[in-house]
Structure 1
Amino acid sequence: MKPVKSVTITDDPQAHEDQHVHAVYDQIASHFSSTRYKPWPIIAKFLSDLPSGWIGLDSGTGNGKYLPLPAHRPGSILTIGLDRSRNLLQIAQHAGSEPGVLVTREVVWGDVLGSCWRSGVFDYAISIATIHHLASHDRRKLAVQHLLQAVSPIHGRMMIYVWAIEQDELSKRSIPASGTNGSDNHPTTGEDVFVPWMMSQHQHTAKGKFKGDTPSSATSKEDAAVAMIAAETPVYNRYYHMFAKCELKQLTIQAAEELGLMVGPQESANTKGCRGVEIIQEGWERSNYYVELRRWVS
């Protein structure tokens, strides 16, 4: 179990993210990418169900594992990856390539809070495990608003995933929750934490074995070598805002309403030309909260 620690943000949120998010991912990019290769089923289905010919944005693409999807309809949609980490983008640029067959993806270096797209330019957008790295409520809300603005106001679709305080039994993390609502024992707000990333010791341990030693005589030396490597292995603390139950849904509602969007199905609009966004689905999956949204105009 990874020792997750609560943290109080005392410095500027941007400076906090620069130190505890962006700098960290540039350091661990290669190792991080090697552990992130299996798409979440709900996101894979979301992309599979999109109409052919649509163009979308992966805001915070990381190593680009969603850029080649849907795998059974290659080339049916085009997803452009955006990320702050140049090292991760170098990996994302060739996501899904097979040995001897190099595929080049469309990626852009930029910030999820930047305004580098004209309004409504995309048909869809996804933001997977990204918004939880923003170090204030207002910055997380702004990121959602940028997604809402980036997609078509007529048919744009969005999927957002964030880490949850409620971790499942397979999780390697235990999240300290600071408060509950007293009725169903759910935290009322999210938790700001540091989640440690330790470089793999497996390769170092293999290199640390002493050649020529018999198994019995090498045991103590190997144990000492492993202990020394563990002590010297760098640990990188990544900042996360772990979301509480309903927090992501409320964040998206607030973000939409502040943009002047009606929240609800298109059928509920009572005036012509009303702009809105509908929550198609929202829930919890394997230690994550997610929300799927659809833009509309009456």
Structure 2
Amino acid sequence: MAPRSVTSATISEDPLAYEDKHVHSVYEQIAPHFSSTRYKPWPVIAAFLSNIPPGWVGLDSGTGNGKYLPLPADNPSRVWTVGLDHSLNLLKIARNAGGVYREVVQGNVLDQPWRKASFDYAISIATIHHLATYERRKQAIQRLLLAVSPSHGRILIYVWAVEQDDLSKRQIPVVDDPHSVGQPGKDVFVPWVLSSSADSEKLQAEQVFNRYYHMFAKGELERLVSEAAKELGLHVGLKSESAGARRGIDFEQDGWERSNHYVELRCWAV
């Protein structure tokens, strides 16, 4: 079957209702099939979790089927990651990720169900791009910043990129120049095809579910993180260059991996 094209999307209603219709409802319906395709950790994320100090407690905000909850693979018991997701059907799968009972919580990534600075680290993988407005995406990053320790917290964020690699199954509508910093991202519907076989005739009946995504342009995630941090009164940059600021974040790394933009942040305080 040929890949289905991504189509442009327009947010024409209340963003929460829009996300309920075009994100949350979809994942509830496709959860088992979606989970069966999400099992291999991405290298940068696996490396990040492998470098977390023993004894730390973390948050996986938008955990999906929980594939990152058992990491690091060499000794998953040395760190403890709590999974948060809106989809109850995905959480039922995540609860037993890796064949071990996991701590998972149902909720929106914009919720604050825990005290500030409850976690040592946080990851948000392929989640923030499902939020339908700039302000809601920024707020989700602020929830991560508030969730981790202000003195040593570490955060890793992944979002889908306008710039897709050669292995991508997504055919993205043309933009002016996806490699150019300063270009806006793109609101799109990405189809998920769910097939069921008719036993008598072995015919494939397809259901197509369109999921909303904001696909990020180059540099957009870094700018969003910087603005989110500054609104919380955080300095963005090295502690040694903070000019007297008491708290801040530093970009440990940023990059592009397999059609995703990512940033790794480290919090600091004096």
- TM band (smaller chain): over 0.9
Aligned to 1:268: 241
Deviations, residues 206-248 of structure 1 (Å, cap 9, x unaligned): x355xxxxxxxxxxxxxxx64xx34xx2111000000000000
Deviations, residues 53-101 of structure 1 (Å, cap 9, x unaligned): 000000000000000000101200000000000000000000011xxxx
CA distance in 1 between partners of 2:200 and 2:30 (Å)? 22
Aligned to 1:154: 151
1:199 to 187, 190, 194: 194
Deviations, residues 84-128 of structure 1 (Å, cap 9, x unaligned): 00000000000011xxxxx20000011100111211110000000
- Flag the structure with larger Rg: 1
CA contact (8 A) 2:18 2:132 kept: yes
1:87-166 → structure 2 map (5 Å cutoff)? 87-97=89-99, 103-166=100-163
CA contact (8 A) 2:195 2:207 kept: no
1:242 to 193, 211, 215: 215
1:291 to 247, 263, 267: 263
Aligned to 1:59: 61
Cα 1:85–1:266 change in 2 (3 A) is same
Cα 1:3–1:142 change in 2 (3 A) is same
Query: Once the two structures are aligned, what percentage of the paired residues are identical?
Result: 60
Task: Report deviation, 1:185.
Answer: 5.3
Letter in 1 for 2:262: Y
CA contact (8 A) 1:179 1:187 kept: no
CA contact (8 A) 1:55 1:79 kept: yes
Letter in 2 for 1:281: Q
Letter in 2 for 1:135: A
CA contact (8 A) 2:9 2:187 kept: yes
Task: Report deviation, 1:22.
Answer: 0.3
Aligned to 1:219: none
What is the alpha-carbon root mean square deviation over aligned residues? 1.5
Which runs of 5 or more residues in structure 1 are unaligned? 98-102, 210-224
Letter in 2 for 1:119: K
Letter in 1 for 2:236: V
Task: Report deviation, 1:270.
Answer: 2.7
Aligned to 2:230: 257
CA contact (8 A) 2:26 2:209 kept: yes
Detail structure 1 runs of 4+ shifted over 2 Å in the superposition.
177-181, 184-187
Aligned to 1:220: none
TM-score by length of 1: 0.87
Cα 1:208–1:41 change in 2 (3 A) is farther
> Would you say how many aligned residue pairs link Structure 1 and Structure 2?
268
Cα 1:108–1:176 change in 2 (3 A) is same
CA contact (8 A) 1:179 1:189 kept: no
CA contact (8 A) 2:180 2:218 kept: no
CA distance in 2 between partners of 1:247 and 1:30 (Å)? 32
Cα 1:9–1:157 change in 2 (3 A) is same
CA distance in 2 between partners of 1:64 and 1:119 (Å)? 23
Aligned to 2:38: 36
Aligned to 1:217: none
Which runs of 5 or more residues in structure 2 are unaligned? none
Cα 1:138–1:185 change in 2 (3 A) is closer
CA contact (8 A) 2:181 2:219 kept: no
1:170 to 143, 162, 167: 167
Larger strand fraction of residues: 2
